[in-house]
A and B are shown apart, each in its own frame.
Chain A
Amino acid sequence: MYRAGEMRNYDVIVVGGGHAGCEAAAVAARMGARVALVSFSRETIGAMSCNPAIGGLGKGHLVREVDAFDGLIARAADAAAIHYRMLNMSKGAAVRGPRVQADRRLFARAIQAALAAQPGLDIVVGDADAIVTDPAGTVAGLKLADGSLLSAPALVLAAGTFLGGRLYRGEWSAQGGRTGERAATALGRQLRDLALPVARLKTGTPPRLDGRTIDWARLERQESDRDPWTMAPDTPRRTNPQLFCAITRTNATTHDIVRGGLDQSPLFSGAIGATGPRYCPSIEDKIHRFADRDGHQIFLEPEGLGDALVYPNGISTSLPDDIQLAMVRSIAGLEAVDIAVPGYAVEYDHVDPRCLDRRLGVRDVPGLFCAGQIVGTTGYEEAAALGLAAGANAAASALDRAPVLFDRATSYLGVMIDDLVLQGVSEPYRMLTARAEYRLRLRADNAWTRLGATAAAAGCLGEARRRALDSHRADCARANAVLDGDIGYDATRGRPRDGQRRSLGDRLALADTPFRDAAGDIPALAALAPEAIDEVESDRRYAPYLARQDAELRALAANERIAIPADFDFAAIPGLSNEMIERLTAARPETLGMTARIAGITPAALSAVLVRLKRIAA
């Protein structure tokens, strides 16, 4: 074990034990790097600091993608799941979003167990004080507050909201990243010293309620899904008892109470200047901006099996304690409720992600990678996915391997990284299926198929997962073979009216029958793995639309192959407006295709970039 004043050598150092940091450390270790995961405390590793849920629309897709790299979050979610819900079940397979309510303690325990079992990964309890660079400005290691030193050529910064974090509630405010925990301010100051572009964002959280004081009988219940799917496709079965969630609403009295307290809300008093997310507004914001609504839905989500705490999803607030209490007690079912921990807003530093390259590496500090909330995202799933990408690339960089890149056309991870490094953020970035232009092909159910080969080639898969992937591929191949054939073709009925003899798959698609439902009549189908049938069915149903996109993708791929050198001077292009030069210089696109996607870049500007590139090459 490590001692103060000692120096230890690693390949990759990860700062932060949240969702990004844990995935980063774990994937780097799976790839064979020697990894140090630095955290304030061992107990908070894998903590879920906001709502007790994992997954959802777009987010569930990210969880499955991390899982396709043998990551931690999907399996930990299964280990902690106390309520399963597949969102958009009535809509197309591409936009179904798996989500679970997770027991906080079970989740953190599962993450901690997975890290402990991972060879090559040390957990270092300590206070990160400064990133150490060599005279050339390349990362050399990390200095801890006790003066000891960790050395490594690659470092992943995944400090969440702890950099320059400041909590607000009513007129009270204090430094910190999470309630009851301190902030990593020294590191925040260093980021500014490293001349990284740093800006402020805000987010918030609702008060935690004592579930024993809620009148559950009055409330509408939402039960866990019966269909026994799991977050990680290879989790054998659900293990925990399943709880229900409940739904209640705010009302006119609630709104009056909130309105009466607006002048004491730091959001409205001007204490918080940073931008909050549009999709996760505080209850103050909701009532202010949507004044015509007579009520807002609240999901009461249990925080765990052995825990009376309940998370009232939908009333994030930074009002003073007394107003928070009056507000919740005005709500049906919560008339006698006690608040265990009040809600608060947090304002924190983030690095403008446009200073990152596609590996999530800081362009101007070789060896430094960033992931999670620190680059402007919100959500466990977004953080985990970025952590995976940053960790894999940090390991690749330290071990001198090819970078692990993600593509918009094959993953939500690719969409997110591309959006972040090209467009930057104006609010905390949350994944949505609407952000993925190729979402018909980016399904939660085909993440292994989409990314398995990339993950295997990068060395991210453990032995067990490699075998599971091979077996899944074989299942899909068998399903395709059965569906391409004419098994089950009823010869006694003669030829179909239009005289065409169709494959089983075409007939089922034409009849609009869910393939699984036909398995009762067709034994060859019943013998197949159900997940493989579902995946292959979706492929077939969307095939005409995917074919239409293929031409578009080919055209885009041509621009994607035109690389832009790192020292390319956008300001030297004649005729470009200052605004255009500013956007291009901030984002520093690495290819012509990336250039085309930057907001506000016109076709003429794109042509000018191309002309300049050709001239340099000539």
Chain B
Amino acid sequence: MRCSGRFAAACLRRSGWVAYAAALWLGGCYPINPALSRYDPHAGYRYENLSARDSDNTFVALSLSGGGTRAAAFAYGVLEELRATDIGGGRSMLDEADVISSVSGGSFAAAYYGLFGPKTFFTEFPDAVLYRRIERDLVLRVLAPWNWPRLLSPFFGRGDLADEYYGNHIFKSRTFAHLPRKRPYIMLNATDISRGAQFSFTQEHFDRICSDLGPLAISRGVVASSAFPIGFTPITFKNHGKETCGYEAPEWVGNSEQDLDVNPQLYDLAKTWRSYESAQHRPYIHLSDGGLADNIGLRAIETGIGSTGSLGLYEKVNFREVERIAFIIVDAKPESEPAADRSARPPGIVTVLNAAATTPLENYSSDTIERIRLWFDEWDRAAQDFDVRRAGCDRLAAKICGSSGSASACATERRGQCYEEAHASEMFRPPHPKLYPIHVRFEAIPDAAAKESLKGIGTRLQLPRREVNDLIFWARRLLRESQPYRDLVAGLRQASQDRMTGHRAP
């Protein structure tokens, strides 16, 4: 699927006959993402179409950060620990994962796990990715003279070369249609570089450009998600135009366009959503590393819950179907000693460019984590406030009605009045699942030397075997020793035991 008819026309307009003929002859065009014949908001790879692997009253979302092989190994360690954690009834914590959202290096692990399942993932992923010298292999391909004509084509870049390599050697030419129709929902996230907005490899996002995600190679999603600028060229997608499949933006988009002052973040998201509608203005979408929009992959989950509603969590919470919500943030953020600060000379251009490219991302990532923490706090506080209001009414009724006892008609009446006035009746009881924010990060490593060592591992696509093994070891240990994780596991084990004994919590 190279240089389709309409794409060929674009080639012609841009480069003229000679360049086009040369590019076509040499295969120097990237694959065109397939068109969607008819828009169906309930079809394709989306969360609502996946069956739950296990208990549906626990929502577990994992976000896998960027950071090359460092991030992939750290993610692998966490997934391995989840698999090793027994929660009773012959199930592991990994069975509870509902969503895995990833960017950049984390996307190798997310895609491989989603595609091949736990058995293959835990036996093959280390050799297929973690110990593989991907960087060397890619450099060799760039240096190979037979690839130069293609790389000189304006329609084929280093990102496309990496896509070929990942597709042939890691992802076995599988497509998104090969992803199983069961959870976890895999969200590989890239960045639309023109808008600076997250672009996920889900049908919901591909609907916007009337493109069918199913036949697209998984490797295309991984390479877009991890196409770090300069190292890789952006990955280009054709916007087929909303009229070609009859796409209609969801209702929240139109409503949110009125909310500039009320919810500016959602307003911006709605504007971005609309920007894809005109294939005349944006006939092509260029995607780059997902880390440019969010380097921990958490925003896609937050957006799917609180903005677009595509993960349907609020609905399940409102129907009181969710008892536990866990966010496992796998954060392979490095932090090397600032060598520039040891010199009186101002930092060089490379150091400054690197800081300009990465520092805002890290701040943005911290901001996302903080937003989740505040969200959880607000939820807990709402439930506590309700209990306080109710207890205040109970005390007041007892005081007014004196020794006649709490069950007396007086107390019942007074309490009821107070509940109404204080908004403490059952109608106002907020849904309150137990919340588990689990942040797996190098900073929590208790061993100072190990911490410094891991924080100093660079963002590469190949690492020494020892560093990969250290990353896996510490990821497992950090997760295992995380208090919120231990609480979650204890809660699930208790629930499993209760199920077996027929006991039901009040």
- A and B are interacting partners: no
